[in-house]
Structure 1
Amino acid sequence: MRQRKETKDRRNEILTATLELITEDGIDRLRALDIAEALGISTALIFYHFKTLENVVVSAFELAAEHDLVNLDAVLERTDGSVENRLRAVLNEYGPTGRAVGWRLWIETWSACLRQPALREVTHRLDMRWREVVIELIAEGVECGDFRADDPRGATWRLTAMLDGFAVQLVALDGAVSRDDVAAWVDRAIRTELQL
């Protein structure tokens, strides 16, 4: 039993180091040797646990995204009040002004998805879990009469795609827009999209 815990701990150490290196240097520059040196272990140990570097990257991103989804659940649990308050809290958590694992990591991952089908699959699956929560909240708001939207799915995609674009502007383009601008524009988009 003790060895199993140590194995899990080692795997998590490898994944955490991988996330730090990806955030710092990017996925394309990541090497198993870099991870091993960061942890003071051999590359053989990395390949023992994950078989390939691609598996390390996919597992690391899954870990980070799952952490974001735990935060999402916490936001839903602690946000009281109207469906609008809950929706705004979720979109704030999702967006570049929230605590999501790091937009740099998401942007790096989107780029790598062009070349890594396994990463594309997991990224799509995890991204859809965020959007499903937003779809459900918008549908709930429509049902109770707080929102007017003929297509909750379309409204969700428009709002979250806008947040994705703002994240690129804030993170990858070094603050081409300000956080205050983003907050104001998101508020306006929510009001327009849901006819508030």
Structure 2
Amino acid sequence: MMRKAVAVRREEIVVAALGQIRVRGICGVRAADVAGALDVSTALIFYHFGTLETLVIEAFRQAAENELGKLNRELGKGGPADQRLRAVLSLYGPSNHDNWPLWIEAGAAAMRDSALRAVLQRLDLRWRDAVVALIVESVGAGLFRCPDPRGAAWRLTALLDGLAVQVVARDGTVTAGDCERWVAQAVAHELGCRPGDQEGR
């Protein structure tokens, strides 16, 4: 039987690792779990990645790149800055972010793992920088009033972070409708508009 190309095999291992992390958590996943999901030996896992820690970091790096790809596609759609801002906030939020359980898990583990923390921080800062830039652009176009775009961006994304924890880690305490309403209210407060303003543009 022909051996699979290295890149193909590594990608399979990374995908399997992410699947196992979703099921077992970072602390619970073992190389044997990843190998079992692919019906290969653990030796093959270590041949390609050296350690389980290296595999976990690579898995999260690729997941982060996928999320940044979604962000970049949304930013590239064009249109008025306020519409793009609301679209990005919606994409970031818990109702449209299938990977939130993964990021919450990673955030807890990152407190003890500097390499994982660096991966998550890069993802986190890219989202926040995009929100800052969209607020600045919206203010420049006269769509919003905001004396502190950076502070507003961090407060809005921090709100979304907290709501995501409630949606993912608590059972039924917060609904998608709650999230949408509270975020709209926060946007109105931060950016000097009424909830719903500009949405029909």
TM-score band w.r.t. shorter chain: over 0.9
Give a deviation string over 1:38-94, Cα, whole Å, max 9, x none. 11111111112111111111111111111111111222233x532111000001111
Find the counterpart in structure 1 of residue 124 from structure 2. Answer: 127
The residue correspondences of 1:24-63 to structure 2 (distance < 5 A) are 24-63=23-62
Find the counterpart in structure 2 of residue 182 from structure 1. Answer: 179
1:188 and 1:130 mapped to 2: Cα distance?
A: 20
CA apart distance, 1:101: 4.4
Percentage identity across aligned positions?
A: 52
Corresponding residue to 2:85 among 57, 77, 87:
87
User: 2:163, 2:179 within 8 Å by CA — same for their partners in 1?
Assistant: yes
User: 1:65, 1:101 within 8 Å by CA — same for their partners in 2?
Assistant: no
What stretches of structure 1 move > 6 A for 4+ residues in a row? Answer: none
1:145 counterpart = 2:142: yes
2:8 and 2:57 mapped to 1: Cα distance?
A: 18
The size of the alignment, in residue pairs, is 192
Corresponding residue to 1:170 among 158, 167, 173:
167
What letter is aligned with 1:148?
A: R
Gaps of 5+ in 1: none
SS in 2 for 1:22: helix
Give a deviation string over 1:94-125, Cα, whole Å, max 9, x none. 11011x34110000000101111110111111
1:97 counterpart = 2:61: no
1:107 counterpart = 2:104: yes
Find the counterpart in structure 2 of residue 75 from structure 1. Answer: 74
RMSD: 1.6
Using structure 2 for the length normalisation, give the TM-score: 0.91
1:168 and 1:84 mapped to 2: Cα distance?
A: 26
Gaps of 5+ in 2: 194-201
What letter is aligned with 1:53?
A: L
